[in-house]
Structure 1
Amino acid sequence: MIIPITGNVNYPITLDPTVWIFDDRKILLEEAFSKRAETTVKEDEVEKASKRWDRAVFQSSKPPVNPNISRKEGEKILTNSYVMPIRDFIDNAEWDANAEKAVLVTSSDEITISLDLLRKCLLLFAIDGKIIKEDGPVYIFYPDGSNMDNPIKGLQKIIIK
C-alpha cells in the first residue's frame, strides 16, 4: 500500500495513501477537474499558511492543537471519493536538473510520462471513503481528466529518470 518515488531525485520518498483521508490537501473527486477547485485549493493554502504563522508568532509558548472533527464531518469524509495532487510530493523529492521523464511502474505495465505532466496529476486514493484495495493503492488521473474512464491503476513505484 506504499508507493516509493525513486530514481533521479535528491530525496527518495515513500507515499502512504492510507493516511491521506484526513489530509487537508485532498480534493473531492467531483470537484477535482473544475477551475473552482484549483482556486479554492490555492486560497486554502494561503489561509493555512497565515494561520500557521499566527500560531508560531502569537502562541509560541503553546504547542499547536489540531481541532477535533465533528461526527458529521467524519461521516462526510468517510462517504466521499477523494484525489490528492501529487505536486507537493514530487516537489519534496526534488528531481535533479538532468531528469527528463517519469516511469510509472504498475502491476501490469510501465508507463512513461513527462515530469511536467506527472507534477499535475491527481491520485485517487479513496472511493466512498475507503482505501482502494483492488488495483490500488491509487489511480492516476491526468490533470484534464482525459483518462477518467480509464485511469492508470495498480501503481507500485514512480521512477524519475
Structure 2
Amino acid sequence: MESIVPIRGNVKHAITLDPTVWIFDDRRIDLDIFFTEDFVERDEMEEYKEKMGKHWSREIMEGATYPPTLKSEKRYEKDKMLTGSFAMVLEPFIHNAVPNASASTFSLITKDNEKYTYPLSDATNILFKFSHEGKPLREDGPVHVLFKDGSNQHSPIRHVQAIEVD
C-alpha cells in the first residue's frame, strides 16, 4: 500500500503528503480528546509565545538548568505518541498547494476510485486521521477522513489515495 497522498489538479504546486511523519508535527490533534468536551481549539502562535515566555522567565530565575519535571514531561509525550490516535487538519496542506483562482472544490479519491467532493472552504472542517492507538493506518489508510463535527467518527472515509483540486 502506498503511504503518500498527492494533492494535484487545479493548483500552482502539486505536493505530496507523507502521513508517516506527522506524528512529529506540533499541529497534530489528539483524537482521544478531540471529540469530547475537554478539547479546546488553540492558537498555535499564542501558545508558542506563551511557552517561550515561560522558558525565558525560567532561565532568568533558575539559570539554564532544566527542572526535574521536564524529563517526565518528555516521557509522557513519548508514551502518548506511542499509544494515542492523531489527526491533522487538511486545510493548511491545500493552502500550501495554492489553488488557482478558478478552483472551487476538491475531491478525495479512494483506492476504488470513489470520489467525495467538497467546497474548498470545507477543508478546515476535515481531519486526516493518520494514527490509531500509536500505529499508522497501514491496512485501510494511509489516512482516514473525519469531519470535525464528529458525524462520521465511527465510519470514516478510508483508503484515501489522492486529493484532486477542481
Smaller-chain TM-score bracket: 0.7 to 0.9
Q: 2: CA distance between counterparts of 1:142 and 1:84?
A: 11
Give the AA of the match of 1:130. Answer: K
Measured in 2, the distance between the counterparts of 1:70 and 1:19 equals 19
Asked if residue 74 in structure 1 is aligned to residue 78 in structure 2, the reply is yes
Question: Segments of 4+ in structure 1 off by > 6 A?
Answer: none
Structure 2 counterpart of 1:100:
104
RMSD over aligned Cα atoms: 2.5
Using the aligned pairs only, state the percent identity. 40
Larger mean Cα displacement after TM superposition, 95-104 or 132-141? 95-104
1:156–1:49 Cα change, 3 Å: farther
Q: 2:20 aligns with which of 18, 21, 24?
A: 18
Q: Which amino acid aligns with 2:13?
A: Y
1:120 lines up with 2:122 in the alignment: no
Are the aligned partners of 1:90 and 1:119 in contact in 2 as well (CA < 8 Å)? Answer: no
For normalisation by structure 1, the TM-score amounts to 0.80
Deviation per residue, 1:141-160 (Å, 9 max, x gap): 11211111211100000000
Equivalent positions of 1:120-139 (< 5 A) are 120-139=125-144
| Cα displacement (A) at 1:35 | 7.2
Alignment TM-score, normalising by the size of structure 2: 0.78
Q: CA–CA distance in 1 between the matches of 2:92 and 2:45?
A: 12
Opposite residue 28 of structure 2, the aligned amino acid is: K
Unaligned runs of 5+ in 2: 53-69
Conservation of the 8 A alpha-carbon contact between 2:110 and 2:161: yes
| 3-state SS, counterpart of residue 78 of structure 1 | helix
In 1, distance between residues paired with 2:13 and 2:40?
Answer: 27
